[in-house]
Amino acid sequence: MNLEGICKAFCLFVVTSLSILPAPAAAQQFDAAFGVGTITAPTGFNAFGDPVPVSLTGGAYPVFSADVLLKGPLGVGGEISWKGSRGLYAGFQPYRPLFYDLNGVFAPRLKNIGAEVQAGIGWESLRFYQPFFQCGFAGCTNFVSSNHFMGHFGGGIRLYAHGNFFIRPEAHVYLIRNNNEFSSPFATRYGISIGYTFAPGF
């Protein structure tokens, strides 16, 4: 997936989420951010000490995130994160993981500092690239996908450096169901994002 496709998917998610909210809720608070991080995950080993299968560890992961606070510090939000460059699965197969999640959000703010805690669900989409295109009703692609349902927990600290612009160090844990392509159903993403809070009263 190229950056344009990712941006379109995220914008569609945000517009859809906002359209189903009650009208008064949209006036509470809206936050949007872009950042980058990396993923760590356990590695499994065989009797010879070789990693089997592949670990999700490594790579730079850009992320788009947004949330809407509906009542005080409580709201809903979503994220999309993907491996910035293709990796080599088992040393030969180009691939790229993507993570999507939709969460309940608790985000209190005291002037120049805020906290953010998230919990929700989503899915991991693994794209394995091929040297040819396959075409169908929805268009042509040069990859096949393997999708897995997952749980998501995350948190961060919002540091409001200038007005409503914030810097957010963050950490996220993915609990991935049937993540058979990798050595563990657990993965952790660490990173930092820069964002902006659209909110009355601050």
Averaged pLDDT of the chain:
85
Contact 135, 101 (CB under 8 A): no
* Cα distance between residue 16 and residue 75, in whole Å: 15
Domain that holds residue 182: 3-198
Is 50 or 64 the better-scoring residue by pLDDT?
A: 64
Query: Of all residues in the chain, what percent are helix, strand and coil, respectively (each to 5)?
Result: 10, 65, 25
Q: Give the tens place of pLDDT for each residue, 60-103.
A: 999 999 999 998 899 999 999 999 999 888 888 899 999 999 99
Give the whole-number percent of the chain exceeding pLDDT 90: 56
Is 16 or 162 the better-scoring residue by pLDDT?
A: 162
- Give me the pLDDT at residue 169, please: 98
Contact 103, 65 (CB under 8 A): no
* Cα distance between residue 133 and residue 142, in whole Å: 4
Q: What is the CATH number of the domain that holds 75?
A: 2.40.160.20
* Cα distance between residue 117 and residue 115, in whole Å: 7
Q: Is the model's pLDDT at 22 over the cut of 90?
A: no
Domains contained in the chain, number: 1
The pLDDT of 145-161, averaged and rounded, is 95
Tokens, residue 102: 């939709």
Label residue 51 by pLDDT band (50, 70, 90): low
Label residue 134 by pLDDT band (50, 70, 90): confident
Q: Is the model's pLDDT at 52 over the cut of 50?
A: yes
pTM: 0.81
Lowest-pLDDT range of 9-23, 67-81, 126-140, 170-184: 9-23
Q: Is the model's pLDDT at 3 over the cut of 50?
A: no
**3-class DSSP state of 139:** strand
* Cα distance between residue 168 and residue 158, in whole Å: 5
Is 24 or 182 the better-scoring residue by pLDDT?
A: 182
Q: Give the tens place of pLDDT for each residue, 28-38.
A: 899 999 999 99
* Cα distance between residue 149 and residue 196, in whole Å: 30
* Cα distance between residue 78 and residue 104, in whole Å: 9
